[in-house]
Structure 1
C-alpha cells in the first residue's frame, strides 16, 4: 500500500491540477442575429446576448478613431498653361501636420460571422462570458 509521501502520488496530483487548470473552451465562430445596441449572437445552438459579451469597441457603430501626424512629401511633376516658362513642369513640397477622424457607421450585419473567445469562470472550465473580437470572412465563399 502506498503512503501519502509516495513521490509518484505527488506527481500524479500535480499533473491532475495542471490538466484541470489547462482545460478551457477554444475559440469559436458565432453568427450575428441582431446588431448593437441589442446585440444577439448565435453560438453552439444558443443565443448569447449583451450581458454575456465583451465587444471590441472598434466594431461598435459610432466608434470614433482619431489620427494625427506629420507628412513630408512632394506632389508629382506637372506642366500647365500655354508653354510659358512660369508654367513649366514642376512640383510642390509637402511638409504639414495633419489630423483626421474616422467614425464607423456600418459595422455589423445580421448573418455576419464573428470570432468568439470564451472567458472562463473561476472553475477555469466553464465559459461565463465571451469576447467578440472581429468579423470573419471566408475567401472561398462558404
Structure 2
C-alpha cells in the first residue's frame, strides 16, 4: 500500500513543530510522603525522575528579616526569657587622664522575668531569624509539574488546590 504524501508532510510538520514548543504543565498526585513518590496519570515517578522546588522539601531553611511596630498592652501574668544587651550611660572622671575619659560599660546578661506586669506603650521589633519548613506535601496532594527531556524528567513547581 502506498503512503499518502500529504499525511507524511503533516506528520513531519507536527514533529518539527513540537520541537519549538515549550512543554506544558501536567498534574501529578502524591502517592507516598516518605520517600516522596508522585504519579502522573498512571506513571509512577521515583525521586530520580523529578526535580522539586526547594520550598516544598522538608527541612528547607530560609533567612527572614522581621520588622514590627505597634502598641503593646499587657495586664497580667508575664514570662520573658532572652538576652539583655545594653550599656550604661556615658560618664566621665575629673582628672583629665585617659583612664578618666568619658566612657560606658556594656551589659550582656541573660534575662528572665516571671510575674505580674502591667504595661502599655509603643514598641519596635527588628531582627533576622531563620525559618525551617515542616513537612508540607501529604498523600493525595495535587502538584503542578513541567515535563522535560521527552518526559524523562519532571520539575515539581508547586502544590495546587481547588477552590471548589
TM-score range, shorter chain: 0.5 to 0.7
Q: Give the Cα–Cα distance (whole angstroms) in 1 for the partners of residues 39 and 66 of structure 2.
A: 41
Compared CA separation, residues 104 and 16, structure 1 to 2 (3 A):
closer
Match of 2:137? 108
Unmatched 5+ residue regions in structure 1? Answer: 1-14, 81-89
One of 57, 61, 65 as aligned partner of 2:58? 61
The structure with the largest alpha-carbon Rg is: 2
Runs of 4+ in 1 over 4 A off after TM superposition: 15-18
Q: CA deviation at 1:129?
A: 0.4
Aligned residues: 109
CA contact (8 A) 2:66 2:129 kept: no
Q: When the two structures are superposed, what TM-score results if normalisation uses the length of structure 1? A: 0.63
Compared CA separation, residues 59 and 33, structure 1 to 2 (3 A):
same
Farther-moved stretch of structure 1 (20-29 vs 45-54): 20-29
One of 75, 79, 94 as aligned partner of 2:71? 75
Q: When the two structures are superposed, what TM-score results if normalisation uses the length of structure 2? A: 0.56
Q: State the Cα RMSD in Å.
A: 2.7
Compared CA separation, residues 79 and 105, structure 1 to 2 (3 A):
closer
Unmatched 5+ residue regions in structure 2? Answer: 1-12, 76-118
How far does the alpha carbon of each residue in 1:47-79 deviate from its partner, in whole angstroms, 9 at most, with x for none?
A: 0111011011101111112212544x3316x69
